[in-house]
Amino acid sequence: MLRIAVQSKGRLFEDTMALLEEADIKVGSSKRTLLVKSSNFPVEILYLRDDDIPQSVASGVADLGIVGQNEFEERAENARVVRPLGFSKCRLSLAIPKAVKYDGLQWFEGRKIATSYPNILRRFMQQHGVNADIHVITGSVEISPGIGLADAIFDIVSSGSTLVSNNLSEVEVVMQSEALLIANRNLDAEKQAILDELLFRIEAVKAAEDKKYVLMNVPSDRIDKVVAVLPGAKSPTVMPLASPGWSSVHTVIDEKRFWEIIRQLKELGAQGILVVPIEKMIL
């Protein structure tokens, strides 16, 4: 059985549980139990604070972990990254009071920066030859400049609304972050086999994201032109209809290009276009 460490609350917790649900891994939702077994897959979920997950995986307390890249980089524990997961995206940025003129990284020379990520910030400043005074703080980092505790902050930014409400301006993006699936470096053959099956399910879920299955009726003499504009997974499926001169075309379209492609299909004579969401896609 694999033990997976996940964040016990917050957006990362919600996104993680949604991924497991999509992969048909059933886990109880009790918040009072720190260790919960799946009822239909050989995994158990260990609920931890996000900053404890890298160490728990590196030390073998957990076999896998789902953790923000920001925490993984900050803790620098000896675990391996299995794959990025594409959710819980944010960035780590430097921010200063809006009223202050910013003229580049040298502005931070000798300044006090409040942060919960001192190791990432220290490495960044060393790479750029800036000697800043890094002040470690937990909790509401963004209020530090307003109360005179620091000249600037280095913190997670998602929408940027928290910075705006505290009269701060984002001036440097140090790193982008998303959820990672990490693993202990010494999994035995049995646990690796379970991980492989878990990855198979995750890949099927991720492959289906932002994809639509599209069915349409097309005049048979325009099939070549329609196929030419379809970015299908491999090649569209084309089947003759009962009505002479017409065919049914089935394909998968990336949602980002959906309306652009649909417009072209209509211009080429496609009719009865049916759009269906995709839950899983095995490539």
Each residue of 236-282: pLDDT tens digit?
999 999 999 999 999 999 888 888 899 999 999 999 999 999 988 88
User: Tell me, what amino acid is at 84?
Assistant: P
Task: Decide if pLDDT at 30 tops 70.
Answer: no
Q: Could you tell me where in the chain the CATH 3.40.190.10 domains are found?
A: 2-88+178-207, 90-176
> Would you state the pLDDT for residue 33?
80
The string of pLDDT tens digits covering residues 109-162 is 999 999 999 999 999 999 999 999 999 998 889 999 999 999 999 999 998 899
Identify the helix (H) or strand (E) that includes residue 154. strand 152-157
Tally of CB atoms within 10 A around 147: 8
Task: Decide if pLDDT at 31 tops 80.
Answer: no
Alpha-carbon distance of 172 to 68, in angstroms, equals 20
Strands 133-136 and 112-115, sheet pairing: parallel
Average pLDDT over residues 221-232: 87
What is 2-88+178-207's CATH superfamily? Periplasmic binding protein-like II (3.40.190.10)
> Would you state the pLDDT for residue 281?
86
pLDDT mean across residues, the chain: 94
Alpha-carbon distance of 215 to 199, in angstroms, equals 30
Average pLDDT over residues 199-203: 97
Task: Decide if pLDDT at 235 tops 90.
Answer: no
> Would you state the pLDDT for residue 23?
96
Q: Does domain 90-176 have CATH number 3.30.70.890?
A: no
% of the chain residues with pLDDT over 90:
84
Q: Are 4 and 43 in contact (CB under 8 A)?
A: yes
**CB-based contacts of 185-188 (< 8 A; 24+ apart in sequence):** 185/58, 185/78, 185/79, 185/80, 186/60, 187/63
Q: Quick one: pLDDT band at residue 84, thresholds 50, 70, 90?
A: very high
Alpha-carbon distance of 181 to 202, in angstroms, equals 10
Q: Are 156 and 70 in contact (CB under 8 A)?
A: yes
Question: Can you state the percent helix, strand and coil of the chain, rounding each to 5?
Answer: 35, 35, 35
> And the tokens for 282?
């095995």
Looking at the domain that runs over 210-277, which CATH code has it been given? 3.30.70.120
Q: Quick one: pLDDT band at residue 83, thresholds 50, 70, 90?
A: very high
Average pLDDT over residues 45-74: 97
> Would you state the pLDDT for residue 28?
80
> Would you state the pLDDT for residue 210?
87
The string of pLDDT tens digits covering residues 159-185 is 889 999 999 999 999 999 999 999 999
